[in-house]
Structure formats: structure tokens, C-alpha cells
Amino acid sequence: MWGAVTRTYLDHAATSPLLPEVDAAMAPWRGRPGNPSSVHQEGRRAADALEAARADVARLLGRPDAGIVFCSGATEANHTAVRGLVAQGHQRIAAAGIEHPSVHEALRMAGAEVVALRVGADGVIRISEVGATALVCMAVNHETGVIQPVEQAFATGLPVHVDATAAAGRIPLALAEATSVALTAHKLGGPVGIGALSLRDGGAFPALVGGAQERGRRGGTTDVIGAIGFAAACALALRRVEELGAERARLDEHLRRGLRALGAEPVGAWERTAPGTTCATFPGLLGETVVQAMDLAGFAISSGAACASGSVGPSPVLAAMGHPEPRAGVRVSLGPSTTVGEVDAFLAALGAFLARARPDAYSS
């Protein structure tokens, strides 16, 4: 509820609200001084909390504690990882067009030669080595929710950077073989502005330099309270991923049956998605039109389209999939708090809008 207007938030893939358990874990640290690099008691207490947080984040990924580098989020983690690959001599890097823009920008800025991996209409990356010496492969796509073949990427034997941002908390992760993994807290009910780059070990890696923090791999005072919240979200995700996944998958089914009945067409293979994310088109309508109408009706969803200088452009993800209408995508993403009543109310409002907008094509 915002004021007197009831709002329903169905955009958990963009950001998911802070979980109450996460808020409670952070509460005792609010207003407390503590720079983990300081030698006094306050500093040592912060350093201990930071190490405990590192262990929780590492556990969610099934990767070593020493390899966790806290940073501002997945954008920074992707940039650092790509810069690291290039600095280690990997000039030709394979990546698909459906990767997050931070990966594409990082590749461009690092001067890498990008070998484009093909993506099927199902939204799945077709892994191939194509003369590259390293690969980037996301675990789950942020717009379609489609799970990606990271095991096939590992099977190439090449170094692989995995962006696990849209996967964490939604599917169990098995990423021990990745060279590096990017993660952000706010997609799994943690605070905004903290994330991690997970490396294989505590060894050196090109980083944001200028301070000795994070074993010299990421300068700048570490956000301890953010890391504590992030860790609490990771611990909850690890404990609840199966249970919440099954619950969300049931809601997905319900939502998708309703969407199909309203004339929606799936984007990507709905049977291959991580629980909670559904992408569809409504033939003849721009994604943005549907998003705006639903916003007016009290529902927050997303078009997944890139917003550049105030104008809504085609989605690079849908374009890379060869979708004929890359401006038509609509993403509905559910969270741990979403109820069947909310999904039903959304479908009813959507049906009413479609019948108004295109009475020739849709009926409610």
C-alpha cells in the first residue's frame, strides 16, 4: 500500500524488497562505528562480522570463502571479472547478446574481441568455443528467466565467468567450476548497493585499486552492514530455495494459464525458466503500453526494454533471440510474498485492459 492506493508489486526480477529477516539481521549494526581495517575493538568486531558474512555468501554459491570480494553489486563484479580475464591474456571472449549490458560494456571497455554466441528462440545460449579463450555465460537470463547451460560452458575447459544475479535465490547453484561469479544482494531480498565477485581463491586479481581492503582486490571501505544483510539474504535463500521455488513454480503455472487464455505468447521456453519470472508478448501491443496501463491499474511489472535517453528501445535480449517483436516483451516476476489472489487480480486487470485496447484481438 502506498497512501490510499493499493499497489501490487510483480517486478521482483528488477529488485525484491528487503526481507524482514534481513532487516532484523542488520538492525543491531545500524549507527555503530566499525571499519574492518581498524585495529581497535570496534574495527575487529566489524572484521569478524564481515568474515562471517563472507562465509554465508560463499556457501550459497558453493565456493571458497577466501574468493569472495565484496563490491557494490553485479555491475561492478561483471566489470572486474571481465577486466581480469583480459588482463590475464584472454583477448577473444565468447558471450551471447542476452548477457546483461554491464557485461557488454565491460567487454567493450576492456578492448576484448567478442565472439558472439548464438541464442535460440527458446532463449537458451548455444555454447561453442568459436576460437575464444574464455567465455561469459549467465546462469539465468534477467528478462526471460530462462536457465542457461553453464555446465556446458564449464565442459569447454575454458575459463568461464558466470553472472548469477538472476539465478541466486531462485534455483540451486552449482558453480564450483566457474572462474568467477557475479552476484548482487537486492535481487534476493538483501540491501541495494552491495554484491560480490566470487573468485576461486584468495589470490590476486585486477581490482579497484587504491586500498588494501578485500585482500587488496577491491579498494574502498567495505560496507559491513550491507554485507551482513547480503549474508542474511544468502543464508535464507540457501535454506528456502527448494520450498520457495516449488511455491513460485505453482504460481507461475497459474499465471501462465491465465496469460495464455488472454492471448499472450511466451517469450523463451517457459518450461526452462527459473521459478518466478515470466516473459510474454501481446501481439500488436508494445511492451511499454502494457506496462503503463498496468501501472495505472495498480500493478508494477516491467517491459524489459532498454531505456535510453528517455525513449524506450527494443530489448537487446529479445533481439539476440531473433524475436520478431523486440519491443513487445512484458515481464511479470513474482517474489516470496506474492499470493494467488494478487496474480488473479493482475490477470483480471490485464484482461480488462486488453479488451479495451484491442477489442478486435482480445476479449476478457
Binding positions for ligand PMP, rule: CB under 6 A:
73-75, 100, 102, 138, 142, 163, 165-166, 184, 186, 195
Q: Based on CB atoms, which residue is closest to ligand PMP, 74 or 259?
A: 74
Q: Which residue is nearest to ligand PMP (CB)?
A: 73
Q: DSSP string of 263-304? A: T-EESS-GGGBPTTEEEEE-TTS-HHHHHHHHHHTTEE-B--
CA distance 231 to 57: 5
Active-site residue flag, 234: no
To ligand PMP, the closest distance from the beta carbon of 105 in angstroms equals: 11
Q: Name the minimum Å distance from CB 353 to ligand PMP.
A: 26
Q: Which residue's CB is nearer to ligand PMP, number 100 or number 161?
A: 100
| Sign of the C-alpha dihedral computed for residues 148, 306, 322 and 85 taken in this order | negative
Q: Nearest approach, Cβ of 54 to ligand PMP (angstroms)?
A: 18
Please tell me the distance from the alpha carbon of residue 289 to that of residue 84, in angstroms, as a whole number: 41
Q: How far apart are CA 147 and CA 175, in angstroms?
A: 13
Please, which residue, 75 or 144, has the CB nearer to ligand PMP?
75
* Residue ranges with strand state E in 185-267: 195-199, 265-266
Q: Which is nearer to ligand PMP, 26 or 274 (CB)?
A: 274
Matching residue, cell 543464508: 235
Instruction: Please give the single-letter amino acid code of residue 257.
Output: R
Q: What does the block give as the cell for 360?
A: 478486435
Shortest distance, position 249 Cβ to ligand PMP, whole Å = 20
User: How many CA within 13 A on the CB side of residue 47?
Assistant: 12
Per annotation, catalytic residue among 137, 234, 279, 307: 307
Report the catalytic residues. Answer: 307
